[in-house]
Amino acid sequence: MKTAIFASLLLISSLASANSVSTNEKLTIETFETTQTGLMKAGTEVNGAGSGAEYSYAEYDQTAPKVDRFERVGQVISSARDFVAMGEEIYNLVQKGKPTNTTEHAPLSVVPKDPISKEIIEAFDLEGFSMPVQKKFTTIMKSGFKEVVRFEYMVVYSYGGSYNGAGKWIAGAEIIPVKVVTKFGWDFNASMKVSGIMNHGTKADPVAGLMMIVKYQMNSWGKAEERNDTFHITGRGEFKSYLTK
């Protein structure tokens, strides 16, 4: 019994030593847009890891109950003179290497105030929104030449909604985690935060703008790394990613 326990402890120590990061070892992080065919499929191996326990694999529960993206209104999280952002200002995407259940938060909307009453006009009272747009991204972290974290997610939003024939607004904007692969010894977390709202049009015919930040935190023995990527969406459907180099 003692021999088995000692062997197990030795194995864990060996794996920790093999996967820990030297202070001289270069860490590189890259985020890039992917196509649907570029996303990993269930069971995909990373860097030939085989079936070993060196990698922890998790994906978002696609069977979870779906919520209408206009149903959850949320709260006012940012306000300007003539429009507001509603939803949830910050929420977790990944906790300790596992995607969180994103059906529990309210998607983001940038909507107008009525010019006379100044009451907030909710997204389902606007007209002419586009079909939901999906942008897929992958973040990869390497320690030296070895891939230690891979995170795949989607940015989803609808645009172009108008109020009494004016304005171009945003509804149902959110970031949805898809899959996470982490090498043994690495702790990965990610969250979304609203950075700000703006008007790209005129006061008479506003065009909403929304900025969202994805924050990553990656930790291993004696090493911690953080990264922020920013995404900018407009009511005209324009999309711009500002990916940290």
Domain range annotation of the chain = 26-38+53-242
pLDDT tens readout for residues 157-201: 999 999 999 999 999 999 999 889 888 888 889 999 999 999 999
H/E stretch holding 80 reads none
pLDDT of residue 226: 85
Beta bridge partners of 149: 141, 182
pLDDT of residue 101: 52
User: Which residues in the chain show pLDDT less than 70?
Assistant: 1-25, 35-74, 100-104, 221-222, 245
pLDDT tens readout for residues 134-151: 999 999 988 888 888 899
Query: What proportion of the chain, given as a percentage, has pLDDT over 70?
Result: 69
